[in-house]
Structure 1
Amino acid sequence: MPVDAHALLAGLGLGLSLIVAIGAQNAFVLRQGLRGEHVGAVVAVCAASDVVLITAGVAGVGALVQQAEWALVVVRVGGAAFLLGYAAHALRRAVRLADAALDARTAPERGTLAGALTTALALTWLNPHVYLDTVVLLGSIAGTHGDDRWSFAVGAVAASAAWFLALGFGARLLRPLFARPGAWRVLDALIAVVMTALALSLLTGLGG
């Protein structure tokens, strides 16, 4: 099937508008990029997850997800619990000066690949907002393009891959700033705030 340029650009634009925002997943990818830890693997996991979710949405899974209210409740509670735990971890880093510096003499030990991948997967698959954005919203809008919906999907997937690559590998440009311990403390404090806010938004949405 030939690629429709209009649908592709529509998917690219909407995909970027949804993904380029401060969130749990982006905050983690940014921190990994700044630390230079398992960046390629983390970026690959995040991008591949979006491929699966976007494909599912375009294939029509979004309609089924909207009907499974009990599943959304379970995911909301589980996601909120995980985000609060991650927020507490980030806050603990923020108050420990020795854990804030990028300098090799004072920086924390390098995290394991398994730990990084587990966190990336959890921040992606335990976050209901990811399902609402990719499976439900992108899937619904893709459906308006009829036979060209897969061109829309290609654009959305391209937006996701480009963003994670830029965020993960472009973060190194900010390393001079994060050579100062104070910058790491501010970043971790902001991450803690973002994670907590997201968790509360999930819990308050249970009654909606």
Structure 2
Amino acid sequence: MPGFGSFTNGLFVGASLIIAIGAQNAFVLAQGLRREHHVAVALVCMTCDALLIAAGVFGLASLLQMYPLALDVARWGGVAFLVGYAVLALRRAAGSGGLRAVDAPRRPLGSVLLTTLAVTLLNPHVYIDTVVLVGSIGAQQPTPGIFALGAVSASILWFGLLAIGAARLAPLLARPLTWRLIDVGVALMMLSVAWMLARPALST
């Protein structure tokens, strides 16, 4: 079943990139811990991811039909980025730190949503993750649309979990050990995706 395989590949690739701890995830977690418009924040992140993933998968797929060399550029650039990000995650895991909610007055919805858009769209990593990395892998799938659906599903599940579950998991999420374990898992997933990108080229 190529469709099911493409969906599960999209789900895994999307999860491995989205779960990486960065500015966007830290912001969503903080909003969830504070219970400040956290559902609306998660919906904005899901929508942005869906649009960028679709642009990457379908746009890059069309580009690769005209310029096959673009696949090699996207592939090896993505591999270098993923390996570098994995190293950074392992370095964070060797350090210490935790996420804590900040006590501050409740902000209006519009202000929070503008901040969410800024954290999401002004971060160059989001374009590398969704447009370049997800797009380059999705363009190689037998059913790119189903792959994109799997990647979008990972985004919906992850941001929903962050926004809704953060308040209940606040004591656990504040522990530095939890974040060390998350960063180790992130590093392993990044290396797995890097291998997924590099393997087709190395096997030819």
> TM-score, structure 1 length as denominator?
0.62
- Structure-to-structure mapping, 1:45-194, within 5 angstroms: 45-61=44-60, 107-146=103-142, 148-175=143-170
Q: Distance in 2 between matches of 1:25 and 1:49?
A: 12
Structure 1 10/122 Cα, relative in aligned 2: closer, same or farther at 3 Å?
A: same
Instruction: Please give the alpha-carbon distance, in whole angstroms, between the structure 2 residues aligned to 1:46 and 1:15.
Output: 13
Amino acid at match of 1:33: G
Cα offset, 1:3, TM superposition: 7.9
8 Å CA contact 1:3–1:151 kept in 2: the answer is no
- Rounded to whole Å, the distance in 2 between the matches of 1:40 and 1:101 is 16
How far apart, in 1, do the equivalents of 2:121 and 2:135 lie?
Answer: 17
**What code does the residue aligned with 2:148 have?**
A
Q: CA deviation at 1:131?
A: 0.4
Mark the structure with the bigger radius of gyration: 1
Residue number in structure 1 paired with 2:20: 21
Do the aligned partners of 2:56 and 2:134 also contact (CA within 8 Å) in 1?
Answer: yes
Q: CA deviation at 1:122?
A: 0.6
For 1:7, the aligned partner's letter is S
* AA in 1 matched with 2:166: A
Counterpart-to-counterpart distance in 1, 2:2 and 2:165 = 30
8 Å CA contact 2:60, 2:139 repeated in 1:
no
Tell me how far 1:28 sits from its aligned partner: 0.2
| Superimposed CA distance per residue, residues 75-96 of structure 1 (whole angstroms, 9 cap, x where no aligned partner) | xxxxxxxxxxxxxxxxxxx9xx
Count of matched residue pairs: 142
Q: Extract unaligned runs of 5+ from structure 1.
A: 67-93, 95-99, 187-208
In 2, the alpha carbon distance for the partners of 1:40 and 1:175 equals 16
TM-score by length of 2: 0.63
Q: Distance in 1 between matches of 2:172 and 2:3?
A: 43
> Alpha carbons of 1:177 and 1:15: their partners in 2 closer, same or farther (altered >3 Å)?
closer
Partners of 2:44 and 2:160 lie apart in 1 by 11
Task: Measure the CA separation in 1 of the matches of 2:150 and 2:43.
Answer: 17
Cα distance in 2 between the residues matched to 1:27 and 1:61: 29
- Spell out the pairing of 1:31-50 with structure 2 (5 A cutoff): 31-50=30-49
Task: Quote how far apart the aligned CAs of 1:175 are.
Answer: 3.7
CA contact (8 A) 2:60 2:136 kept: no
Of all paired residues, the percent bearing the same amino acid is: 51
Determine if contact 2:15/2:155 at 8 Å carries over to the other structure. yes
1:58-106 deviation line (CA, Å, top 9, x unaligned): 1125859x8xxxxxxxxxxxxxxxxxxxxxxxxxxx9xxxxx877xxxx
What's the CA shift string for 1:93-126, capped at 9, x where partnerless?
x9xxxxx877xxxx42101111110111011111
Shift of 1:21: 1.4
